[in-house]
Chains A and B, each alone.
Chain A
Amino acid sequence: MHKKVAIYRKEHFNAAHRLHNMDWSDEKNMAVFGKCNNPNYHGHNYELIVKVVGVPDAATGYVIDTKILSNIIQQEVIEKFDHKNLNLDTVEFKQLNPTAENIVMVIYDLLRPHIAMDKELVITLYETERNFVQYPA
């Protein structure tokens, strides 16, 4: 039995952010990012889907224990980002523009060290119901 299975865990966090490039003028930021550049921030209910792919362990039948996966996501992602301002309250986005693309790559990097290297990890992040990103692509 060497067949691979994908297992998914859904979590969510609510956060404020704004899209802003510190090297640009206010006018250029407004022109490029529009209402997402609002100086007083806006926010989203982010939905996070973490996918882990691997061969189920012969003894447990698990690719990964979902309770353990949930704890890792809570500790590494949700506690850092939930009910926070991504620009102001997190070290990850002090210099990095918190677009959905950048957030999904940051989440991947936060989780990857905690998932065994023989498992594939794919992160999907919904910023709204209609806008979502995936990494790796």
Chain B
Amino acid sequence: MIYLTRKEHFNAAHKLYNPNWSKVQNESVFGKCANANWHGHNYDLFVTIKGEPDPSTGFVFDVKQLSILIKTHIIEKLDHKNLNMDVDFMKDKMCSTEHLAIGIWNELRLHLPKSVQLHCIKLYETPRIYVEYFGD
């Protein structure tokens, strides 16, 4: 079994703010991440798929195709956007890195060929903070 990873990146604004809570409670839980006018990050995205290399190509999957699928269906929707306001698959969700990783998995899964096994979405919000989602 080989694990194949493609790295991409996007830059976006967001805030952590639960509309069902008061401003005071939001600031108490989310601190400066609750700033009303947003803040932003350079996100690094690692998409890992797994499988056995095809004997005729030596590939688990054509990584150029993987890159095109990620760029078309994920990066186009997220890059230079406001994650709370501009992204269909994050509508009405708390815009944490955890939820974003799950959202990226679900969105990308729709567009990957059935034969491709998605293994992990690893998402860096800052160089020091990242999450991993394995689909379970």
Contacts and interface: CB of A to CB of B under 8 A. Distances in A.
Interface string A68-99: 00000000000000111100110000000000
Interface string B12-32: 111000000000000000001
A40 B81 contact: yes
Nearest to A81: B39
A85 B127 contact: no
Given A16-B13, A35-B79, A89 B35 contact: yes
Given A83-B35, A85-B35, A43 B85 contact: no
Contacts of A82: 32, 39
A89 B42 CA distance: 20
B127 A41 contact: no
Interface residues of A, number: 22
Contacts of B3: none
Given A35-B79, A82-B32, A83-B32, A44 B37 contact: no
B72 interface: no
A35 B32 CA distance: 26
Given A15-B40, A36-B80, A42 B35 contact: no
B48 interface: no
Which of A38, A82, A128, A129: most chain B Cβ within 10 A?
A38
A44 B127 CA distance: 12
Interface of A: 12, 14-17, 35-36, 38, 40-45, 82-85, 88-89, 128-129
- 3 shortest A-B CB distances, which residue pairs? A43-B40, A40-B82, A85-B37
Given A43-B38, A84-B37, A89-B37, 6 more contacts: A15-B39, A16-B82, A42-B11, A43-B40, A84-B35, A85-B38
